A and B are shown apart, each in its own frame.
Chain A
């Protein structure tokens, strides 16, 4: 059975929905908390710094990702078993992975080759020698075409 709503009530309902839609549209714009999560805390007190060689990187050219792990006291974190995965900002693209080798003194490196120009996210995951987990997300913006 159909229920007819009085014009005034109808206007109220519509006003609420229009306001909700406006809010939704406004929040869809950048700057309204739509940036990627920076998951830098999953490793607890482990600080991960990184460099690329060469920098800036070029698509299709081999590069080396150097990671430096330090704990809260800036002591090198050794013996971690790390994995490195690269994802494009656009969904649907093939991810790239690279083995990570420890070089000593809390330094690790991984050979990598970006398959496409654009923005990439590197995800470093692994286990610490003490049994903890580490997860770090690194944004590499603007990989250029060779």
Chain B
């Protein structure tokens, strides 16, 4: 089924200016966030910067990925800003080969998550505004120096998060007829389309995939920003936004354009693992027990500063615990399987199976904030209007508008985690049947235990009393 053939939605997506239209909406939102963050009241629940980023943007990002696909990257306002900057400055360099892969983007993702906890960004409107400015600046700088979508592909922490999550999206850009691509002589989907200009020069009329995904060999959503450039560039109208089975792309063993083989990409496997365990660490950081843990750690190492303690929590949660679990699970699988590969190959094969449960935990966490605070944007926007124009042009502010009661959201959170865990278990089983066809059940056992362990940990975290600490540490 091709979404691009649907009435209204399909027609909109095929419209050449669909992406800029979406980007302009988010650009206006970003400008409002920055202005209110810098100039508005520095009280987080009353400022657009903190309310929109912490409550609505994160929640809708996950919701959009689960329901449609990587929509945030489609509508990314930073790409619009860098497109405008490229009208002035043309990049001349290619992204260095030694920096390719996901390691840098992964490090930045961890850095952002760490900074969010360390600096309590949810309570800092001005810092949030500066972070948004920093994001825009970095995207512009990188893509002013390096060709293509270097920032998106190699650096953007939000992008890496979205790439991992969108492997579970229900849609994917893919070719319609393989034969059409086989006979295609222009490859506009990746090279772009040029038209003749004066003095024998050619001018780019429609760019192709800036992330280096050649559509005939593209598999899944990894590295796909759903920018639709390929759709607009293809002269044969041979690209569909197809409905598909979420997660199935992670079982593909073949070589894929712009990615290679998943089984050979330790960086992508690490992204999947960090994506999953960061969901737990991020949710745990909001609970009362996390403060007890931090206090005990601080006493243990004799410090009254937060960063070393938080660094230990992140190191333990994102490196040591996953490494230990994966090593144990991989070793046991090799012992139980009849046809074992190397430990590295085993771990790389199964690591991707953790993404569904990770997404379930992120959805439970961000969904909680979205559902319990969905209406807060109304009074905050009303208040911002008063701040900006001196009049209540939007009425209110109705400060009593909040959202669902936390207790009402808990069953939904359970559903998200259990659904994610079910997906991971199904994927573990499918990987075992693929790689260990003679003993799939035995090979699956250690990884099913890992998924169960993650699931019970997530459920325990979600059942803990929340504690929104922002100002002090060990006070």
**A interface residues (Cβ-Cβ under 8 A, vs B):** 2-5, 7, 10, 13-14, 17-18, 20-21, 24-25, 27-30, 33-37, 59, 85, 87-95, 116-119, 121, 137, 139, 141-142, 144-145
A90 nearest in chain B by CB position: B468
**Separation in Å of the B324 CB from the closest CB of chain A?**
30
Flag if A17 contacts B465 (CB, 8 Å): no
In the complex, the answer to whether A33 meets B126 with C-beta atoms within 8 Å is yes
Number of A-B contacts defined by CB within 8 Å:
154
Q: Are B403 and A17 in contact (CB under 8 A)?
A: no
Chain A residues near B402 (CB-CB < 8 A)? 92-95
CB interface residues, B 94-144, toward A, < 8 Å: 115, 119-120, 122-124, 126-127, 130-131, 133-134, 137-138, 140-141, 144
**A17 & B144 in contact (Cβ 8 Å cutoff):** yes
| Of listed A37, A85, A95, A118, residue having the most chain B CB within 10 A | A118
Give the complex CA separation of A135 and B51 in angstroms. Answer: 23
Within the complex, the shortest CB–CB distance from B40 to chain A, in Å, comes to 10
- How does the 8 Å CB contact mask read for B352-386 relative to A, with 1 for contact and 0 for none? 00000000000000000100110010001000000
Do residues A17 and B137 form an inter-chain contact, with CB atoms below 8 A?
Answer: yes
A91 and B45 within 8 A (CB) = yes
A141 touches B467 (CB 8 A): no
**B161 contacts A by Cβ under 8 Å:** no
Whether A30 contacts B45 in the complex (CB less than 8 A), given A7-B92, A14-B144, A21-B141, comes out as no
User: Would A28 and B144 be within 8 Å (CB), given that A20-B137, A21-B137 are in contact?
Assistant: no
Q: Given contacts A90-B44, A95-B402, are A29 and B468 in contact (CB under 8 A)?
A: no
Chain B residue numbers with a CB within 8 Å of A139 are 471
Separation of A4 and B144 alpha carbons in the complex (Å): 12
Instruction: Return chain A residues, CB-CB under 8 Å to B469.
Output: 89, 118-119, 141-142
Residues of A within 8 A of B140 (CB): 17
**A5-B88, A91-B376, A92-B369 are contacts. A17–B467 as well, Cβ < 8 Å?**
no
Check B131 against A37 for contact (C-beta < 8 Å): no
- Using A36-B123, A117-B467, A119-B471 as known contacts, list a sample of 20 further A-B pairs with CB atoms less than 8 Å apart, ordered by residue number in A: A2-B90, A2-B203, A13-B89, A14-B144, A25-B130, A25-B134, A34-B124, A88-B468, A89-B44, A89-B45, A89-B122, A89-B471, A90-B468, A91-B47, A93-B373, A117-B466, A118-B468, A118-B469, A118-B470, A141-B469
Which of A85, A95, A142 meets B475, CB within 8 Å?
A142
Asked if A24 contacts B89 (CB within 8 A), the reply is no
C-alpha gap A141/B122 in the complex (Å): 15
Residues of A within 8 A of B288 (CB): 117, 144-145
Asked if A119 meets B399 with Cβ closer than 8 Å, knowing A25-B130, A89-B123, A91-B373, the reply is no
A21-B141, A24-B133 known; A145 and B119 CB under 8 Å? Answer: no
Query: Do A119 and B468 touch across chains, with their CB atoms under 8 A apart?
Result: yes
Question: Could you tell me if A93 and B87 are in contact, using CB atoms closer than 8 angstroms?
Answer: no
Q: Count contacts on B: residues with CB < 8 A to the other chain.
A: 55
Asked whether A24 and B468 contact (CB < 8 A) given A13-B89, A17-B137, A37-B43, the answer is no
Chain B residues, Cβ within 8 Å of A144: 288
Contact, CB under 8 Å: A116 / B468 = yes
5 pairs from A and B in contact (CB 8 Å cutoff) = A3-B88, A90-B45, A91-B122, A92-B45, A95-B399
In the bound complex, residues from chain A placing their C-beta under 8 Å from that of B373 are: 91-93
- Report the nearest B residue to A1, measured CB to CB: B203
- Chain A proximity of B331: nearest CB distance (Å): 39
CB distance from B260 to the nearest CB of A (A): 31
Closest CB in chain A relative to B469 CB, distance in Å: 5
Known: A95-B399, A118-B466. A141 touches B472 (CB 8 A): yes
| Among candidates A17, A25, A89, A137, residue contacting B120 with C-beta atoms closer than 8 Å | A89
Within 8 A of A (CB), among B121-178: 122-124, 126-127, 130-131, 133-134, 137-138, 140-141, 144-145
- Give chain B nearest CB distance to A131 CB in angstroms: 22
Tell me the minimal C-beta distance from A59 to chain B in angstroms: 7
Listed residue (A3, A24, A28, A121) with the most chain B CB atoms within 10 angstroms of its CB: A28
CA distance A91 to B465 in the complex (A): 17
The answer, yes or no, to whether B429 is at the interface (CB within 8 Å) is: no
Judge if B36 is at the interface, Cβ distance under 8 Å: no
User: Does B472 lie within 8 Å of A24, measured CB to CB?
Assistant: no
Q: How far is the CB of A84 from chain B (nearest CB, A)?
A: 13
B402 nearest in chain A by CB position? A94
B141-A93 in contact (CB<8A): no
Q: Residue on B with the closest CB to A139?
A: B471
- 0/1 interface trace, chain B 394-411, chain A, CB 8 Å (1 if under): 000001101101000000
Q: A4-B90, A21-B134 are in contact. Are A121 and B43 (CB under 8 A)?
A: yes
CB distance from B1 to the nearest CB of A (A): 36
